[in-house]
C-alpha cells in the first residue's frame, strides 16, 4: 500500500508538468510527509469545459452513496481489482485523476524497528500517481476525495515492500484522464514504473510520525 508520500514543487510547476489550466487559491506549501485524510492536490478534467484543473481533495475515497466518512479511510485501490470493486469501479470508469508527487515512502522491518525508505525519480522531477476521485455532500459539507491505485512492485521497491503506488509515465497522462480509452487499455497502464528511472535511500525516522512534516523527513541516513 501507499500510506505516505511527499510533494515539494512550486505552484507554477503544475502547468508545466501536468498541463493544468486552473489552480485553486492556495500557496501550495511544501509537504514532506503527507498522510491519510490530509488535503492533497489532484489534477482532473473539469467536466464543464474539458480543461485540466487542480483541486484539493481529501486523501481517502468517499463515494456519493456512502452515508458517512469511513473509520478507516480508503486511501488505496488495488490495480488488479479497481475496475470491479463496488467502492472504486464507478470512479475508475468516469473520475480518474493524476495525484502529483515528488516521492513516496515504504518501510523496511529491522531488528531495531521500522526503517523508512524514500523513493523518487532519478532525475528528481515530479511525477503522478494514477488516482481516482469522488464528490459527495455530508453534513452540509461538500467533499472531494481521492485514492491512489497500487500494484505490484518493481525490482527497486521489491527489496523493501511487495506493493507500490502506480506511477504513470508522462506520455500516459492524456490517456489516463481522457474519456476514450477502454477498461483494458486503462488497466494496461497500471504497471510497475521502470526501476531504472528511480532511486531510493533510507531516511530519517522522523517521517514515521504523521506529526512531522519538515525537511528532516527527507534527510538520508
Given 53, 90, 97, 106, the catalytic residue: 106
Active site residue 2: yes
Count of C-beta atoms within a 10 Å radius of residue 124: 10
Cell of residue 21, nine digits: 489550466
Given 2, 97, 134, 217, the catalytic residue: 2
Q: What is the CATH number of domain 5-218?
A: 3.90.1680.10
**What pLDDT shows up at residue 63?**
93
**What pLDDT shows up at residue 75?**
98
Q: Determine the Cα–Cα distance for residues 159 and 155; give it in Å rounded to an integer.
A: 7
**What pLDDT shows up at residue 116?**
98
pTM: predicted TM-score of the whole model, two decimal places: 0.97
Task: List the beta bridge partners of residue 52.
Answer: 45
**What pLDDT shows up at residue 1?**
78
| The length of the chain, given as a count of residues | 221
**What pLDDT shows up at residue 66?**
87
DSSP assignment of 178-216 equals: SS---HHHHHHT-SPPPGGGEEEEEB-GGGGSTT--SGG
Q: Determine the Cα–Cα distance for residues 48 and 206; give it in Å rounded to an integer.
A: 43
The dihedral region occupied by 113, where left means phi > 0, alpha psi between -120 and 50, and beta the remainder, is: left
Residue extents of the structural domains in the chain? 5-218
Judge contact between 176 and 94, C-beta under 8 A: no
**What pLDDT shows up at residue 28?**
82
pLDDT digits (tens, 9 = 90+) for 153-172: 999 999 999 999 999 999 99
**What pLDDT shows up at residue 47?**
80
Q: pLDDT tens digits, the chain, 221 residues: what are they?
A: 799 999 999 999 999 999 999 998 777 899 999 999 999 999 999 988 889 999 999 999 999 888 888 888 999 999 999 999 999 999 999 999 999 999 999 999 999 999 999 999 999 999 999 999 999 998 888 999 999 999 999 999 999 999 999 999 999 999 999 988 999 999 999 999 999 999 999 999 999 999 999 999 999 99
Amino acid at each position: 500500500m501507499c500510506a505516505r508520500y511527499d510533494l515539494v514543487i512550486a505552484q507554477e510547476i503544475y502547468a508545466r508538468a501536468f498541463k493544468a489550466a486552473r489552480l485553486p487559491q492556495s500557496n501550495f506549501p511544501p509537504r514532506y510527509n503527507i498522510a491519510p485524510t490530509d488535503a492533497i492536490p489532484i489534477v482532473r478534467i473539469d467536466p464543464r469545459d474539458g480543461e485540466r484543473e487542480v483541486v484539493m481533495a481529501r486523501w481517502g475515497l468517499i463515494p456519493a452513496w456512502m452515508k458517512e466518512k469511513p473509520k478507516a479511510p480508503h486511501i488505496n485501490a488495488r490495480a488488479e481489482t479497481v475496475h470491479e470493486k463496488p467502492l472504486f469501479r464507478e470512479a475508475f470508469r468516469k473520475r480518474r485523476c493524476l495525484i502529483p508527487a515528488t516521492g513516496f515512502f515504504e518501510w523496511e522491518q529491522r531488528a531495531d524497528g521500522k526503517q523508512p525508505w524514500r523513493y523518487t525519480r532519478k532525475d528528481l522531477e515530479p511525477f503522478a500517481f494514477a488516482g481516482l476521485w469522488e464528490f459527495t455532500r455530508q453534513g452540509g459539507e461538500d467533499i472531494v476525495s481521492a485514492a491512489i491505485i497500487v500494484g505490484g512492485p518493481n525490482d527497486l521497491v521489491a527489496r523493501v515492500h511487495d506493493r507500490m503506488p502506480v506511477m504513470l509515465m508522462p506520455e500516459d497522462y492524456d490517456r489516463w484522464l481522457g474519456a476514450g480509452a477502454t477498461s483494458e487499455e486503462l488497466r494496461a497502464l497500471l504497471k510497475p514504473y521502470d526501476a531504472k528511472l528511480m532511486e531510493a535511500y533510507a531516511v530519517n525516522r522522523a517521517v514515521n510520525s504523521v506529526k512531522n512534516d519538515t525537511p528532516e523527513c527527507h534527510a538520508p541516513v
